[in-house]
Chains A and B, each alone.
Chain A
Amino acid sequence: MLRLQNLNTYYGEIHVLKNISLHIQEGEMVTLIGANGAGKSTMLNSISGIVGAKSGAILYNGTDISNMSPDRIVQQGISQVPEGRQLFAPLSVEDNLRLGAYTRYGKENKKEIQKDLETVYALFPRLKERERQYAGTLSGGEQQMLAMGRALMCRPKLLILDEPSMGLAPLIISEIFKTIARLRDTQKTTLFVVEQNARVALKYADRGYVMETGKIMLEGNSRDLLENKEVQRAYLGKQKKPIWE
């Protein structure tokens, strides 16, 4: 469904993404893990068209979207849940959700959008309870749900999530991830999740990529990555002792 081939991205002179190749198949949940500053968010922003790629291809169902504007990319069916949610705090929950369908507003779509709204509420009953509340007054977990719901409002085929666990309590994190996995299982949404919390991400994802200083160091299915000693050392906090004799 999505294919990155030799993607190179720069911030000015700084080479951030170094020859990134990666793929996501339809119906899959893929995670990208890595430390701070590895280039994870840059990769997502490159896919979403927020950061331009210097070279390489981003093929979405066969078409190169690397030079498309972000709104066109959303119309193609790729929707991003940004890091730190980025909600419209002074707007109500429902208005936030409706804004998510911005690219497809129009008379003929009104009914459909209403239906999607119901679907999102069914997925996140908590949001339904708080539909008139200002987004800014929600708890962290609820805000994350709202951000996801908003992204779902444009009926994405590929949903990209940037650090959904950020700033949340462990219990809420697993709830969020359960919902994400449910999206894959029931809605057949393809998911790409960028996470620092490798343990939870690998627990729910099908496959994963490990990124380090702008490069992909490892690729594999989640279970194998969880068992990989290097991943355990670097991202799961196991075996902290220096290991070279």
Chain B
Amino acid sequence: MAYWEEQSECCPREDLEQLQLERLQSVINRVYKNVAFYRALFDGERIVPEDVGSLDAFTKLPFTTKKDLEKNYPYGMFAVPLREVVRIHTTTDTIDTPTVVGYTAHDLKTWSDLVARFLLSGGASRDDVIQVSFHYGLFTGAFGLHHGAEKIGASVIPASSENTEKQIRIMQDYRTTVLVSTPSYALFLADTLEEMGIDPKQMMLKKGLFGGEIWSDKTRADIQERLYIEAFDNYGVSELMGPGIAGECREKQGLHIVEDHVLPEIIDPETGESLPPGKTGELVLTTLTREAFPLVRYRTGDITSLDYGTCACGRTMVRMKRIERRTDDLIIIKGINVDPHQIEKVLLEIEGCEPHYQVIVRRENNRDHLVVNVAVSENIFFDELRLQESFVEKVRTALGRRLNVRVDVKLMERKSLEESLKKSPKIVDSREL
């Protein structure tokens, strides 16, 4: 069994806790000194950094939430001057103010090491040809995996968001052995292969490392069966760094969190109270080594539980259960976070629309579709089909632009929409994840 950083990954618990305490204290000292937001936050609560004497005292610190990050858009949360930042990514959410995340050179180095850890724990190696089918852009997924894969010495193909036929062509001709994508894309790929009459067994593909979405063991079984590969889950949070926060090992009994760089806690999402190990609740993370963008007790919105038991793979890092749901109604489509409340905002801006709507998420042929049923004022229901079509187009473009995903728009009379809202909630996610 190969490790990337064996000393850290298999560090005895006692040593790990000492390191966490040291790093936690220095990160608190640093944010207090360098980030105005944290200084004000701590001062407001009458906390001085030296109060944080233990992991226990730490749980009394206030949380950092998505709202805080929004308020400090774009650079308010940076702990170093901009000229020390060598990379900027943003989160994929659709809020007008995405979170702008900076990385120093050292942050990038750590990031690629942490990705390298889960690549190796999933059995990838320098002998592999790794095809990264994440979109290369502001989104952290592609670059994170790319640098990690390069670091372990694999041959990396930045296939990005090329069309699926081309992806398959690359996969066949370049003899890809490891696929990196979202799980839903893997399923879509399987469909396309079937349509094209290509037998996955004839390809070199052995493994898949999937992330960016919530996916169940059933989906995993599907992917494994249809692509003839072994599928691994990995977990990332764009606000913290991106992929590399946690990844599965061969045992597949949960995802090892990189505890020497990130301190995990589980809280009750309603009360905010810390929950004991093993209990299910919202995952809260604190960065221990980030230079440019440190976060203290950041609420991820993801629901999971932590298992501190020993793992047969030899890693001592705590394992988190695979994410099954979120605390909010964020919809994750093709790795992109969609906040349904944004839809209302967009509709209000368009003349003729009413803020009555219903969001339906469906999975058809392993592709996710976002359908928005919109109520319109009576006078828009004119008979002229052309005008109506152009109106639909207008709404669709506006929504698409804001949400970053393709949206299907259906116009409805208010009465029939109200009928439908009586039967089902405003947001219907009918996908089997």
A224 interfacial by beta-carbon distance below 8 Å: yes
Evaluate contact between A22 and B291: CB separation under 8 angstroms: no
A171 interfacial by beta-carbon distance below 8 Å: no
Quick check: which of B15-23, B171-179, B233-241, B394-402 contacts chain A, the rest being far away?
B15-23
Evaluate contact between B22 and A229: CB separation under 8 angstroms: no
A19 interfacial by beta-carbon distance below 8 Å: yes
Which residues of B lie under 8 Å from residue A21 when comparing CB positions?
18, 21-22, 25
B52 interfacial by beta-carbon distance below 8 Å: yes
A217 CA to B52 CA, complexed, in Å:
14
Hey, what's the 0/1 contact readout for A205-245 against B, CB within 8 Å counting as 1?
A: 00000001001111110001001111000000000000111
A218 CA to B34 CA, complexed, in Å:
13
Evaluate contact between B53 and A6: CB separation under 8 angstroms: yes
A22 CA to B49 CA, complexed, in Å:
16
Which residue of chain B is the closest to A228 with respect to CB atoms? B106
Interface residues of B in 285-341 (CB under 8 A from A): 289, 291
B104 interfacial by beta-carbon distance below 8 Å: yes
The majority secondary structure among interface residues of chain B is helix
Hey, what's the 0/1 contact readout for B262-296 against A, CB within 8 Å counting as 1?
A: 00000000000000000000000000010100000
Total interface residues on B, CB under 8 Å, equals 26
A5 interfacial by beta-carbon distance below 8 Å: yes
A3 interfacial by beta-carbon distance below 8 Å: yes
Evaluate contact between A244 and B53: CB separation under 8 angstroms: no
How far, in Å, is B28 (CB) from chain A's closest CB?
A: 9
Which residues of B lie under 8 Å from residue A5 when comparing CB positions?
18, 21
A56 CA to B308 CA, complexed, in Å:
26
Evaluate contact between A216 and B81: CB separation under 8 angstroms: no
Interface residues of B in 1-58 (CB under 8 A from A): 15, 18-19, 21-23, 25-26, 29-30, 33, 49-50, 52-54
- B interface residues, Cβ below 8 angstroms from A: 15, 18-19, 21-23, 25-26, 29-30, 33, 49-50, 52-54, 80-84, 104-106, 289, 291
Additional pairs, 8, CB under 8 Å, beyond known A23-B15, A216-B25, A228-B291: A15-B50, A21-B22, A56-B53, A217-B30, A224-B106, A229-B84, A243-B81, A245-B81
Can you list 20 A-B contacts with CB-CB less than 8 angstroms, sorted by A residue number? A5-B18, A6-B21, A8-B50, A19-B25, A21-B18, A22-B22, A23-B19, A212-B29, A215-B50, A216-B22, A216-B29, A217-B26, A219-B22, A219-B23, A224-B106, A227-B105, A228-B291, A229-B80, A243-B81, A245-B81
